[in-house]
Amino acid sequence: MVGVSVQREPAVERAPLLDVDGLAARLGVTRRFVRRLVDERRIPYLKLGRLVRFDPAEVDRWLNDRRVEASDFGGRRRS
C-alpha cells in the first residue's frame, strides 16, 4: 500500500518486574509470606510460564487500597 502510514503508540517506560525475592525485600516480609499472598490470590501478579512476577505499579496500587487512615481518637475508643 502506497501512502499508508502506521502510527505507533509512544513507548511507555516501565519499572522492571519484581520476582518473589524482590517483592519480599520491598515489603519487608519473608518469601513464604509473598508466596502465601499469591497462593491465596490476595496480591496482583503475572504468571510467565511457571515464573511469578509482580508489576511495581500494581503493587503500589494494591498497597494504597489497603491503607488504613489514622483516627482522630488517637488509639482506643472510650465507652
d(CA 49, CA 53): 10
d(CA 3, CA 42): 50
Q: What is the mean pLDDT of residues 10-38?
A: 93
pTM score of the predicted model: 0.73
Residue-wise pLDDT tens digits, 43-68 = 999 999 999 999 999 999 999 999 99
